[in-house]
Amino acid sequence: MPQEYENFDNENLGKNERYCASCGNPIQKKDIFCPYCGTKQYSQQTVYPYPPKERVIYVLLALFLGCFGVHNFYAGHTNTGIKQLLITLLLGWLFGIGALITFIWAIVDIIQVTHDGNGVPFT
Ligand SMILES: [Zn+2]
């Protein structure tokens, strides 16, 4: 009975399998990196080495301050944030075209980015 309860939502998985947190493919429990997409896996028992960032804050920063890469600095994607900041500052004087580019970039970030720079998923 306790063993069945433990696997109640994994009926299609073998005993030593679980789903990849990123792509959803079944992988071995002992796998640290998903063989399909390469994403680092954390078991439920694992304490994240860094506290997870909040997605709500990430989205708000991207919407209001995304032109300056602030959302990427928040999430630990520092290199991307620096690129966005530079594009906005360097091209910003040409009819605001730099800010337009980085604003669209920030929207793409909102849609695509689900993990912070340490590979910890947003909450
Ligand atoms: Zn995967």
pLDDT of residue 3: 44
Predicted TM-score of the model (pTM): 0.57
pLDDT of residue 60: 96
Count Cβ atoms below 10 Å from residue 25 Cβ, excluding itself: 12
Lowest-confidence segment of 65-74, 91-100, 114-123 by average pLDDT: 91-100
Question: What's the 114 CA to ligand 1 centre distance in angstroms?
Answer: 13
Q: Please name the residues in contact with 76: beta carbons below 8 A apart, sequence gap of 6 or more.
A: 50, 53, 116, 117, 118
Q: Between these two residues, 77 and 28, which has the higher pLDDT value?
A: 77
Q: Please answer whether residues 74 and 84 qualify as being in contact, where contact means their C-beta atoms are separated by less than 8 angstroms.
A: no
Task: Tell me if 11 is assigned to some domain.
Answer: yes
pLDDT of residue 49: 67
Residue 33 has pLDDT above 70, yes or no: yes
In sequence order, what are the beta bridge partners of 18?
27
Question: What's the 26 CA to ligand 1 centre distance in angstroms?
Answer: 8
Question: Which residues form the domain of 108?
Answer: 55-112
**Long-range CB contacts (within 8 A, 24+) of 72-76:** 72/109, 75/113, 75/116, 75/117, 75/122, 76/50, 76/116, 76/117, 76/118
Task: Tell me if 119 is assigned to some domain.
Answer: no
Mark whether 60 and 104 lie in a shared domain. yes
pLDDT of residue 44: 56
Mark whether 44 and 11 lie in a shared domain. yes
Task: Tell me if 2 is assigned to some domain.
Answer: yes
Those residues whose beta carbon sits under 5 angstroms from the ion ligand 1 are 20, 22-23, 34, 36-37, 39
Task: Tell me if 120 is assigned to some domain.
Answer: no
Mark whether 29 and 63 lie in a shared domain. no
Question: What's the 47 CA to ligand 1 centre distance in angstroms?
Answer: 20
Q: Per this entry, what is the length of the chain?
A: 123
Mean pLDDT of 63-71: 95
Mark whether 65 and 45 lie in a shared domain. no
Question: What's the 97 CA to ligand 1 centre distance in angstroms?
Answer: 37
Structural domains in the chain (count): 2
Mark whether 87 and 40 lie in a shared domain. no
Task: Tell me if 22 is assigned to some domain.
Answer: yes
